[in-house]
Structure 1
Amino acid sequence: MDLRKSRSDISFIGVRQDGSLVPELRYRQERANFINNKLANWREVINADMRVGLAGSVLSAVALGTVYKKAINGMQHEYEESWARVWTSCAALIGTALEAGGKQVERLAAAKLRFARYLAIGERLVSIGRVFSAIGGFILSAVDFYRAWKEYQRGNNKMATLCALSGLAGFGLAVAIYYGALVLSAFLLLAVVLIVIALMVWGDNSRHAWLDRCMWGFLSSERYDDKDTEQAEYRLAVGAC
């Protein structure tokens, strides 16, 4: 008999509360089982919902940074729309984070008995997060409908149609998010992304926008008030292109 191979079976490393000895091999098995149980519990908590929530929060933060940069560095005619999108992006970011956090509190409460008392808090966070997201979506769809009306008044029917479609898709997405319709939300989110890409492709660039509003531009109701404003807007338009 090779004693070196059986050392782990007969060496003792501790004593239980009832006085029984704990061999090293049994200790290793119990430790492995304990770790596996802990990992299983955390897999129940950190699931696909949490990953989706984190991804949504990151995307909302990136979108917020983009629209904020445009709001502080954009042209004069973009001021109101840009800041409206900043506030709606803030609402979307808060809503996404609250909903994701609330779902994880719910799962943690379900996985761990000592956290069960926090289940109601998780449900409340999810509800509040959906309300924030819905409010942001409704305001953003209203901004798109307003822009569609402005484009229609300018005679730009293509942009008016795209903005109206963006408003409809955004409104539907807000409703789907509020009621937790994941499949419909994913479909409408894809539609919103495609419409935004179309707006970027067919929309006027900053130089065209400046030409439409300068002293000889055809948008007479939106012309710049004075030469200083016109020159300042020209520098912004040239720098943006």
Structure 2
Amino acid sequence: MHEHYYPLPGGPVLILDTKTPFPPLQQALTEPNGLIAIGGDLTAKRLLAAYRQGIFPWFSPGEPILWWSPDPRMVLFPEALNISRSLRKVMQQQPFDIRFNTDFKRVIQACAATPRPGQPGTWITDDMIAAYHQLHLMGYAHSVEAWQDEQLVGGCYGVKIGRMFYGESMFHHASNASKVAFAHLVQWLNAQQVGMIDCQMHTPLLASFGAYEIPRDRFIAQLNTLVQYDVT
């Protein structure tokens, strides 16, 4: 099979068709950090193959599908979850009804519609919403939701394969709603014996929960063990 590459300042990047497998992670560019392939599709088969190899899609509307595996990788080990004193006080007051997987599609749609500082649009396109909703129907994608007076006011979603979880996005329409939802998600994942949460990129919010960056080699080594628990 003849492979095609797209030239970039950081080096050539593999162009995927619907049958092209992902290249070895060693081919990921250092600039931009972790770009490993372009194109392909957003089928459940492709997405699951990507996550099993430590690769995720991230692109803007109008762009081709871009696939990434950055180095280092921001992760959170569930047993090391840090909940600040102020957030713990909020959780004790129980201002939200926390639910799991009751309205996945509304959660991802709300994540797509929420403005992000420094981002003119969203990377959660209609095709992405459809793709992750399919993963949800297959039992791989999960949402945790914060409800208040029967209104969805916050939440987050991600993909679970075996004992590995890949956090994707969160939103809030009420103060602390996404933080409380995320804390409950991590506690639930810990109870499910999930060993590592992929947070993809560094953010101050995730760092406040105890997430930190590890080398990609270490990330992949642990991922390879954790995804083996997938028996679906």
Instruction: Compute the TM-score of the two structures, normalised by the length of structure 1.
Output: 0.23
Q: Which has the higher contact order (CA 8 A, sep 6+)?
A: 2
| Structure number with bigger Rg | 1
Instruction: Compute the TM-score of the two structures, normalised by the length of structure 2.
Output: 0.24
* More helix, by proportion: 1
* More strand, by proportion: 2
